Amino acid sequence: MISTSIHPDLHINSYGSYLRRRFGCRISKVNVDGGFTCPNRDGVRGTGGCIYCDNSSFSPGGTVAAIPVEIQMAEGMAYHRKRLGSEKFIIYFQKFTNTYGPVEKLHDLYSRALAHPDVVGISIGTRPDALSDPAIDLLTDLARTSYVCLELGLQSMDDSILTQINRGHTLADYLQAVERVSGRGMDICTHLIHGFPGESPADFIRTAQLISSLPVNSLKIHQLHAVKDTRLAEWYYDGRFVPLTHQQYVADLCDFLELTPPSVTIQRLYGSAPLAIRVAPTWDLKNNQMWYSVVNELKRRGTWQGCRLAEGGRNVSNLC
């Protein structure tokens, strides 16, 4: 039996549909830059950042820390109102590690975002190794009256890959972070990337089994892609990084989704970068084409998110 949370046309539990059910109107996420850095950039955990990281590849151009957060919010909300007819908003602190700073700074930024009457909540992008007890307590307090989503970047559950990409944390760090924030009234979103050198489809799909055992509320997944002036781009040029084909990525992602609990909302299924800095892969698909390539493959298979899971998370592949 298909869960009622699965969108009948999309075959997944889409985050947009979840927000509409929860808040009763169209909700958009508005990206802002709070002026943070990362512990694997400033020397605490490492230097140089992740090998693929260039925030300009996934951040709107108007989000820069020098601009007051209120102005960033206003510009983003106006854009989504006009483009999508959005009525309410979640402010997304996206760039770098947005719990990595004094709790006074966090309180100031989060509170200013939540003060807007059309803002229903905040989403905080961070790392599992950058969550102080005061930061968790602050988010817990805010979650009593507003929607709070903590977005934890795991990227891979393989510690050797995490070392290879200069991630600076381990799977154990991630599991500990999930345990520390679970039951605190906030949603937990996990970020994953597929296509690392040395990673097999089975390795990636094994992560779905990990997620099904954890109190994770939503997922963001995208293909590994290289942009200019990153170490990953150097790896691509010298042959150390061979990108997945679009066909392989879609097939692996659908296998992953079939083993993902239907209660987990899907925030993202792919990544893109501006053409001016994109190196590889060059699938040349628009965002909606990428989204529907996954949806259409699930339809072709006659499967849906979680169809290979029974109650209790048991693997029952004959359900698909």
88-112, pLDDT tens digit by residue? 999 999 999 999 999 999 999 999 9
Selection from 94, 99, 189, 91 nearest residue 137 by Cα: 99
Q: What is the mean pLDDT of residues 289-298?
A: 96
Compute the mean pLDDT over every residue in the chain, rounded to the nearest whole number: 93
State percent of the chain over pLDDT 70: 93
pLDDT at 314: 43
- Cβ within 8 Å of residue 183, ≥6 positions away: 215
Could you count the other beta carbons within 10 Å of the beta carbon of residue 125?
23
- How far is residue 77 CA from its own chain's centroid? 20
- CB of 63 within 8 A of CB of 5? no
* Weakest mean pLDDT among 39-53, 118-132, 238-252: 39-53
Q: What is the mean pLDDT of residues 203-209?
A: 96
**In the predicted model, is pLDDT for residue 319 greater than 80?**
no
State percent of the chain over pLDDT 90: 86
